[in-house]
Amino acid sequence: MKKVTLLFFLCFILQIARAQTSTVKKAQNSFDKAQEYLRNNDYDQAIPLLQEAIKADPAFQFAFIQLADINRRQKLYEQAKINYTSAIALGGSPDARAYYGFAESQIYTGDYANALNNIKLFIAQYKGNDPDFMNRAKKYLRDCEFAIVALKQPVKYDPINMGPEINSVHRDYFPSVTADGTRLIFSRNINGNEDFFVSEKKDKSWSTPLPLSNKINTQKYNEGAQSISPDGLYLFFTGCNRPDGLGRCDIYVSHKNGKDWGEPFNLGAPVNTSYWESQPAISPDGSTLYFVSNRPGGLGGYDIWKSMLKADGYWSQPENLGPEINTPYDEHTPFIHPDGKTLYFSSDGWPGMGNKDIFMSRMNEAGKWSSPENLGYPINTFNEETGLIVTPDGTYGLFSSNLKGGYGDMDIYQFKMPENKKPLPITYVKGIVTDKESKVFLEAKVQVVNLKTKKVDYSDYTSKETGDFLAVMPLGGNYAFNVSADGYLFYSENYQLDSAYISKPYVVQVALEKLSTGKNMVLKNIFFNTNEYTLLPASLTELNTLQQLLKNNASLCIEIQGHTDNVGNDQQNERLSLQRAKAVYDYLVQEKIEPQRLTFKGYGENKPIAANDTDAHRRQNRRTSFIITKI
């Protein structure tokens, strides 16, 4: 679309030159000389000649229009408006495209009421046959109508500079935050070189930003437009003009192992191409990568695309997000919130304030995106707004700008998000995995499964150096949480987040026990209906983890135990607990675990782990567990 606009501009000023003359010889001579420079796009030489023509003939309407169009091309919109005003004030019937240029200049200076009148005049009078040109005019019409209403209904907006703890005399921009809100990574441009810096939040204060890693930052190339995974372990970023690049800009990833980052890896084809790929945004489960590209097959100049991580570890052929998100114009800076469903992005195609505005869209249960919603005025203005991220708790939006009173030519700011534009609420489980006896950190697999959707929302390994993990859990789900390591009894927990709002995250210390005879473990994610012993489908995640433990340790033998609370008949409770233990036994045998390695027993209410005095305590006593009988 930009090429269309530029082509129109060049044709317009040259057509005017051929079609119009002045009766004042000096004015015409200056005008003709200006055309020679304009054919070579030499505006600096053409402008004073056009000014001479106007001075010699103040009624030279098309010299005013041509000068206004050059001003508009140079984004000198206030000066353009002055020259358009002078041209139209001379009367007659100026070319309809003058009204288009006048309207565009007014839109980009926030004069929407007058812009609306002029764009209507253009649409009514334009006799050309360029559909792209007319479509853009109609888009400007929608922008004006939207902006006039938005100005009357401003949202609360008070951007606050994040202060000298984060910002510097240099250009600071493109912030990204981990899910726990304790680590901020952003780009800083020092003497033309873009690098990543990181700051840690301690006691509600940000530390002095330090260069992220010399394995990622380079002196020769620029690194920017990054996306950090919620756990802070994967950094997807844009690298341009690198020797291993497929195009001008490619998407790279680096993995943090322990305290330092690994060497960046070019994602390669099919994500990267000979075209422009940039501005990655990774979903909280790491399975979907959103990014911007101008590759063929899109709807506009720059579109948002997505690629899925396949089981073999490679990325799928990218898909365009389609007309639900993309337009015939440009979409940029996607940000997928840790809730995994709320997308923020900038666009100059959806109705807005005229330039790039920030929009929000939410994915429904069927995977379809809602119609994008403009974040409103004055979050969006006639200036270009891009690069918004939203904090994990949904409270603040972070962006970069050069607002008055900043510390450098661009600083990072934050503002409170409007209530109706907030993402969905989330919480997270965060902790460290250690050996219970030695206390040393362990390399362990951490997995979070949404038991409603059967989808793995998080699966990764901790490092031996730090043992830490962080997994996001959007509210509304019921989650199985498992931690496992070779030679150890796995850890099991269940988080039911489908009802009450959880304001605080879960912070756990996972101390895994080495496999040994007599060790006992409660299976937190084995489920039955009340007074029934048929395993519910949500139990499969835990059953498969137990099955894998037995397969990985071929000599391991266990007793599967069923337990109840004290409600009801003792004999019935004992029978029910036995039947439930046998259901687990039957499943494991069905999955090719040797029957001689398994026994089962029902203990009824005889082995409580909590007092049977409250519903919560009785729920703890209704459980399935196992004990190692041989190793």
Helix, strand, coil shares of the chain, percent, nearest 5, are 25, 30, 40
Vertex 382: Cα angle to 380 and 386 (nearest 5): 50
pLDDT on residue 502: 64
Beta-bridge partner residues of 188: 172, 195
pLDDT on residue 18: 43
Q: Any residues with CB less than 8 A from the CB of 212 and at least 6 apart, and which? A: 185, 195, 196, 197, 198, 235, 261
Task: Give the DSSP letter string of 534-565.
Answer: SPPGGGHHHHHHHHHHHHHSTT-EEEEEEE--
Distance CA(385)–CA(359), nearest Å, equals 10
Q: Is 21 or 498 the better-scoring residue by pLDDT? A: 21
pLDDT on residue 80: 97
Q: What is the mean pLDDT of residues 361-387?
A: 94
pLDDT in tens, 174-208: 999 999 999 999 999 998 899 999 999 988 899 99
Distance CA(216)–CA(235), nearest Å, equals 10
pLDDT of residue 329 exceeding 80: yes
Confidence of residue 4 (pLDDT cuts 50, 70, 90): very low
pLDDT on residue 201: 92
pLDDT of residue 608 exceeding 50: yes
Cβ burial 39-60 (10 Å sphere, 16+ → b, else e): eeeeeeebbebbebbbebbeeb
| Other residues' Cβ atoms within 10 Å of the Cβ of residue 405 | 6
Stated as kind and residue range, the H or E segment containing 456 is strand 455-461
pLDDT on residue 499: 63
pLDDT of residue 404 exceeding 60: yes
Cβ contact 187:170 at 8 Å: no
Distance CA(285)–CA(472), nearest Å, equals 8
pLDDT of residue 540 exceeding 60: yes
Strand order in the sheet with 331-336: 331-336, 342-347, 357-362, 373-374
Cβ contact 286:338 at 8 Å: no
pLDDT in tens, 379-398: 999 999 999 999 999 999 99
pLDDT in tens, 114-154: 999 999 999 999 998 889 889 999 999 999 999 999 999 99
pLDDT of residue 7 exceeding 80: no
pLDDT on residue 3: 42
Confidence of residue 503 (pLDDT cuts 50, 70, 90): low
pLDDT of residue 27 exceeding 80: yes
pLDDT on residue 51: 96
pLDDT of residue 356 exceeding 80: yes
Of the listed ranges 76-80, 255-259, 361-365, 621-625, the least confidently predicted one is 255-259
pLDDT of residue 250 exceeding 70: yes
Cβ contact 570:605 at 8 Å: yes
Q: What is the mean pLDDT of residues 162-181?
A: 93
Give the rounded percent of residues in the chain with a pLDDT score beyond 90. Answer: 84
pLDDT of residue 5 exceeding 60: no
pLDDT on residue 2: 44
Cα 36–chain centre separation: 48
Q: Which two tokens stand for residue 66?
A: 């041509």
pLDDT of residue 14 exceeding 50: no
Q: Give CA separation, 598 vs 20, 560, 581, 601, in Å.
A: 97, 7, 11, 10
pLDDT on residue 16: 46
Mean pLDDT of the chain: 92
pLDDT of residue 66 exceeding 90: yes
Give the rounded percent of residues in the chain with a pLDDT score beyond 70. Answer: 96
In the DSSP assignment, the letter for residue 394 is S
Q: Give CA separation, 525 vs 220, 495, 559, in Å.
A: 52, 9, 17
Confidence of residue 19 (pLDDT cuts 50, 70, 90): very low
Q: What is the mean pLDDT of residues 405-430?
A: 93
Reference 410, options 113, 569, 140, 188; nearest CA is 188
Burial class (CB in 10 A: 0-12, 13-18, 19+), 230: buried
| Other residues' Cβ atoms within 10 Å of the Cβ of residue 215 | 12
